[in-house]
Structure 1
Amino acid sequence: MDEVDICVPINHIPDVLHRVDELEKETGMRIPNFGHAGDGNLHIYLCSDNMSDAEYKEKSDKVITELYKTAKALDGNMSGEHGIGYARKDWFEWYYGEDYTNLLRKIKKVFDPNSVLNPDKIFPLKDNAKLTNLTYVNELVMS
């Protein structure tokens, strides 16, 4: 099971729920959901039930992509309260655009030049940076 945690303006909640119903019919996947009606935050669950791993991956990738497209078209966000992290990082730049993503990379570099805070969580580390960062963390801990 995966969760999509999109957030849309509250007047668009019915649009998202309608799209969820369509996706259930299109994919044959069970997609229960609930949310916080006051702030437009929707928790949408993708149930694997008796699907093979390959079938679940194919269907869940389609549903996740379609839900992000829906949220974006409705001026929403790809995450209401659960953050980006590993689960959403592959969609981040597509959703928010290259300029915004690069701005956030620069801000992270200013406040975390050695990439010790959540290394590789959203912005991939380059080359041997992971080894360097782990060495740096070890040095901090041991000093």
Structure 2
Amino acid sequence: MMDEVDISVPIDHIPDVLKRIDELEKKVGMRIPNFGHAGDGNLHIYLCSDDDSKEVYAKKSKEVITELYKKAKEVDGNMSGEHGIGYAKEPYFEDYYGKDYVEMLRKIKLAFDPNDVINPDKVFPMHD
């Protein structure tokens, strides 16, 4: 199994994120190859299961993803560079951007899509 985390950070903080990836590889015991676009700070980080069971991989992945989003936020980056926000990032979205911001986005979506037909519930549920 493999999953990708796509974050974007200011280019002067790329070394900070790469250092954090190295720390997480050692701490969690997971191979985390990565590459990116040095000119815009968009990083592609791969979480490899190798011989881990699905359960172990899921636990390790959640920890690594959570830590990578924390690092991106800490250095004033974003939780996505070019892959967008979809189902995989939904569980982390409100923690990352805050409840008020998410509520504002819901209101904007509702103004343009009152019937919730465009990508329904793609990023965040429109109805509580």
| TM-score normalized with structure 1 length | 0.87
Query: Which has more strand, going by share of residues?
Result: 2
Whole-Å separation in 2 of the counterparts to 1:113 and 1:41: 33
SS of the equivalent of 1:66 reads helix
Aligned to 2:17: 16
Whole-Å separation in 1 of the counterparts to 2:51 and 2:113: 44
Q: Which runs of 5+ in 2 are unaligned?
A: none
SS of the equivalent of 1:31 reads coil
Instruction: List aligned pairs for 1:76-87, cutoff 5 A.
Output: 76-87=77-88
Query: Which has more helix, going by share of residues?
Result: 1
Does residue 1:64 correspond to 2:65, yes or no?
A: yes
Aligned to 1:124: 125
The CA deviation at 1:50 is 1.0
Number of residue-to-residue matches in the alignment: 127
Aligned to 1:99: 100
Q: In terms of Rg, which structure is larger? A: 1
Q: Per-residue CA shift, 1:92-125, capped at 9, x if unaligned?
A: 1100011111000000000001111001111214
After the TM superposition, list the runs of 4 or more consecutive aligned residues in structure 1 that deviate by more than 6 angstroms.
none
| Larger relative contact order (Cα-Cα within 8 Å, sequence gap ≥ 6) | 2
Aligned to 1:132: none
Percent identity of the aligned residues?
73
Whole-Å separation in 2 of the counterparts to 1:123 and 1:96: 12
Q: Which runs of 5+ in 1 are unaligned?
A: 128-143
Aligned to 1:47: 48
Instruction: Report the AA paired with residue 8 of structure 1.
Output: V
CA-atom RMSD in angstroms: 0.9
Whole-Å separation in 1 of the counterparts to 2:124 and 2:66: 20
| TM-score normalized with structure 2 length | 0.97
Instruction: Report the AA paired with residue 67 of structure 2.
Output: E
Instruction: Report the AA paired with residue 97 of structure 2.
Output: Y
**8 A Cα contact 2:11 2:38, kept in partner:** yes
SS of the equivalent of 1:42 reads strand
